[in-house]
Structure 1
Amino acid sequence: MDYYEVIHRRRMVRNFRDESIDDETVERIVSAGLQGPSAGFSQGFTFLALESPEDRERFWATNEHNAQPERIRRAPLVVIPFACKDAYLDRYAEPDKGWTDREESRWPVPYWYIDTGMAALNILHAAVAEELGALFFGIPDEDWPALRDAFDVPEAYDPIGAIVVGHPMDEQVESSADTRQRKNVEELVHGGDWDSPFR
């Protein structure tokens, strides 16, 4: 599938069939996340990939503050992307980066979350390329301790959300994308300066 077609076809899917995904496809989807960029090639993101019904049920049991309906829970793959701030602070204290400390205030924005988000988008795009559907949703920080406890996740790793991947049902649940128009280039892209149109 052409890359631009993947971009245009990507949607958040909210209704899945109870149908498995073959191992090779899962491997390609998860591996796509590893191709995400990272500041200083810190690679401070990691994924928890859950395929077995038992592991997925253990995950869903931790979602007390953002419970998902059964139509979403049917998806056979759950991927939780985690960001590790320490990996970035450590990397930029190395000699080739020129900083001698791990001071977080040097960072204008938390690139550990940004990079993990870009890795997550790779997974969403890979699902489309495999002719599957995917949904990204947030995990409230109130549920982080239960998630960490359930899967022995070290404290240094923050879940930026979760991605479910599976075979979409023909009937989809209405979402904001169905009731709101996507803004166009003229509305969102500025050219030269803020008040100048693009092109």
Structure 2
Amino acid sequence: MTEFQEVVRRRRMVRNYDPDRPVPAEVRERILGNALHAPSAGFSQGWAFLVLEEPQDIERFWKLSSDEADEWGKGLRRAPLLIIPLSHKQAYLDRYAAPDKGWTDKDENRWPVPYWDIDTGMASLLMLLTAVDEGLGACFFGVPPGDRTAQLKESFGVPDAYTPIGVISVGYRAQDKASPSLKRGRKPTGEVVHRGAWGRH
């Protein structure tokens, strides 16, 4: 229990990496393997993970997804490993039209929220926590919408049915500055936890 609490305590978004220290293959596989233990509605497992670790692939990703002048990505560009989690909505619609579920119309409106994105997000969190447990740093950041997402999918052969929900950079931490946003502090539990009814703490 203590070890897990320490992993949670140490987890933060790391935005600068040592470019000369690749992520060992066995560590990469543990990160990806742990993602598969995320929960998924109906055990649909409607996710996929695009792994980029060859320098030419990583360089191509950055050219497609951002401008070199973007200061925010300067340290992220040094990450030796990028993992792009992709959600697969159709896997959920098909799964819940199976005989043991019975929604034969595959109507997306039956879903109160997009579980395909939520479940892929939970898989992403497991990867972030595994990176910390392995002594690495990691950061989850977004893929620009519109044309850049389309170009990214086309360039790496991602099928139309899959949607990138973000990108996880992974590597050995280099010195970086904590996000200025952290100055806002974490909200106390009494402000976000409501017991029995809204407003009860």
Report TM bin, short chain: over 0.9
CA RMSD, Structure 1 to Structure 2 (Å):
1.6
The share of aligned pairs that are identical, in percent, is 52
1:164 partner SS:
strand
Aligned residues: 196
Tell me the residue number matched to 1:27: 29
The answer to whether the 8 Å contact 1:15/1:168 transfers is: yes
The answer to whether the 8 Å contact 1:65/1:140 transfers is: no
Q: CA deviation at 1:144?
A: 1.2
Q: CA deviation at 1:174?
A: 3.3
Deviations 1:144-199 (A, max 9, x none): 11111111100000000000001111x312314432111111111111211211xx
Given residue 10 of structure 2, which amino acid in structure 1 is its aligned partner?
Answer: R
2:75 partner SS:
helix
Q: Which runs of 4+ in 1 moved over 3 A?
A: 64-68
Distance 1:64 1:75, change over 3 A: closer
The answer to whether the 8 Å contact 1:133/1:167 transfers is: yes
Q: Does 1:149 align with 2:154?
A: yes
Q: CA deviation at 1:51?
A: 1.0
Deviates more, 1:41-50 or 1:176-185: 176-185
1:122 partner SS:
helix
Q: Does 1:76 align with 2:77?
A: no
Q: Does 1:158 align with 2:191?
A: no
Tell me the residue number matched to 1:135: 139
Tell me the residue number matched to 2:10: 9
Structure 1: distance between partners of 2:144 and 2:74:
19
Deviations 1:11-54 (A, max 9, x none): 00111111111110111011111111100000001100111111
Distance 1:117 1:176, change over 3 A: farther
Given residue 106 of structure 1, which amino acid in structure 2 is its aligned partner?
Answer: R
Tell me the residue number matched to 2:49: 47
Structure 1: distance between partners of 2:92 and 2:85:
16
Structure 1: distance between partners of 2:158 and 2:73:
25
TM score, norm. by length of structure 2:
0.93
Tell me the residue number matched to 1:109: 113
Tell me the residue number matched to 2:98: 94
Tell me the residue number matched to 2:195: 191
Unaligned runs of at least 5 residues, structure 1: none
Structure 1: distance between partners of 2:112 and 2:199:
26
2:169 partner SS:
strand
Structure 1: distance between partners of 2:177 and 2:127:
22
